[in-house]
Amino acid sequence: MFIRDVFFTLTTEIFSVGGNLFIGILLARALTVPERGIMVLVMTLPWIIVSLAGMGLPQANIYLVGRKKRKAQTVWGNALVNAAIISLLTLLFLSAIKGTILNTALKGLPPQYWRPLMLLIPALLLDAMTLSILRARQRFDLFNLRRLVVPMVTLAGFVIALLVVKGGLTAVVNVYVIVTALMALFSLVMTQRQVPLKLAWNRQLTTESLQFGAKSYLQNLVGTLNYRLDVYLLAFLLSPKEVAFYGVATSLAEVAWYIPNSVGLVLFPRLSNAPLEQVHQITAKVCRNTLGITGALVVGMLGMSRLLVPLVYGPAYRATVPPLLILLPGVMAMGIYKVLTRDFTSRNQQQVSILASSVALTLNVGLDLLLIRPWGIVGAATASTVGYTAAGAVLLIFFLRDSKLDWREVLLPRWDELVGHWHWVKVSFWNLVKQRQDLERVV
């Protein structure tokens, strides 16, 4: 069951990578470099705000349904009411500080894009709460279907906006807002068919959610700042052009995260439902195999990036290659963090992950402020890699202490396990092909 869910989640990630790659190429080719930098801000700002405002409630939903065995219907209905309250308070707060934000971290963002982006906050909060229920019930088939649709619909919308309508940056921003809102509605309808929706605020459940979510919130807050703060420091200290180059570098480097991300999405609900005495062994096995596959991907990207990036994105994006090469080792180290953090979260010990992320954030911000002005985007990439490596190392130390396992059991892949996984993937793939051929014959 676990390998099956990871396989289909990873398959979804691969298709998503393809869709996002084409989106990035289209934006790079159809927009100017500064406009591409603005789109980096547009496509990250709402997600960051939701991560900061979400209070860790999506993670709490999974924990409550999985570990605490609360009814999914009750948890979902309560979560959506809380999402509405949080959305209102967040929009009021952002309206009050709009001028400050647009003059600092978002000084490169045209003011007319502020309002449509703010409209996405309720949609994204609703979406996060809804998708957490699918994960809690381990309905990864539906969860992955939703994730698969997003880049395909987004790409189609961008093609129409840029190549058919020729509406430029404004049309692309509007399409992004519309598609994101529609996908949140799609998630709601799809989940409602599995879990009948009944909106009701539950004080006790909200208290439990906030108690667990507070730790997850801090973990998510620090993690989000680690991943995206450098982009906004670049926007503040440099220009949209450098933001565009760095945005492409980070999006390409984070392709290597699709494997640990896929594993983590499945692993957290699995560990939340597993007996506590089995949690460490499951995590160690998953970590070593994930690390082996991710390492192979990183090596391939290190070898091919100098040739492929200018070829695919255009000669203007040759400046993307140096920060990409610097980011990849840090991305590899952060892959360890992404797997091990699920172990601590499933046991309600997020404080360990918070500590690891805080060490990384301190190093990241300090080095960003020190290196961005003299080194530009190379300095930002160096700061990120140092921070990512520190986060992975700290979490590994605590995991080894808690589990009493040898480091080799956590980091060194085992050939027989990798071969077994590969055999299962081949069998599953050919079964899917056979099922499709049988269906076509029937039709």
Output phi, psi for 97, to 5 deg: -115, 15
Over range 127-141, report the average pLDDT.
Answer: 87
Rounded to the nearest 10°, the torsion over CA 83, 86, 88, 92 is: -160
Q: Which residue has the higher pLDDT, 431 or 355?
A: 355
pTM, two decimal places: 0.65
Looking at residue 64, its amino acid is L
| pLDDT, the chain, mean | 84
Helical (H) or strand (E) element with 222 = helix 203-237
Please return the burial class of 371, using the count of CB atoms within 10 Å of its CB with bins 0-12, 13-18 and 19+: middle
Identify the residue whose tokens are 């309905």.
139
* pLDDT score of 290 more than 70: yes
Burial label, 175 (beta-carbon count in 10 A; 0-12, 13-18, 19+): buried
Q: 171-202: per-residue pLDDT in tens?
A: 999 999 999 999 999 999 999 998 998 899 99
Q: What are phi and psi of 322, to 5 degrees?
A: -55, -50
Q: Could you write out the DSSP letters of every residue in 3-50?
A: HHHHHHHHHHHHHHHHHHHHHHHHHHHHS-HHHHHHHHHHHHHHHHHH
How far apart are alpha carbons 166 and 159 in whole angstroms? 9
What string of DSSP letters covers 96-145? HTHHHHHHTTTTTS-GGGHHHHHHHHHHHHHHHHHHHHHHHTT-HHHHHH
Task: Say what the pLDDT of residue 12 is.
Answer: 72
Any residues with CB less than 8 A from the CB of 263 and at least 6 apart, and which?
6, 9, 10, 286, 290, 338, 339
pLDDT per residue over 339-350, tens digit each?
Answer: 999 899 888 888
Q: Return the pLDDT at 416.
A: 67
pLDDT tens digits for range 244-272: 889 889 888 888 887 787 777 777 777 87
Are 339 and 283 in contact by the 8 Å Cβ rule? The answer is yes
Mean pLDDT lowest among 52-66, 146-160, 350-364, 420-434: 420-434
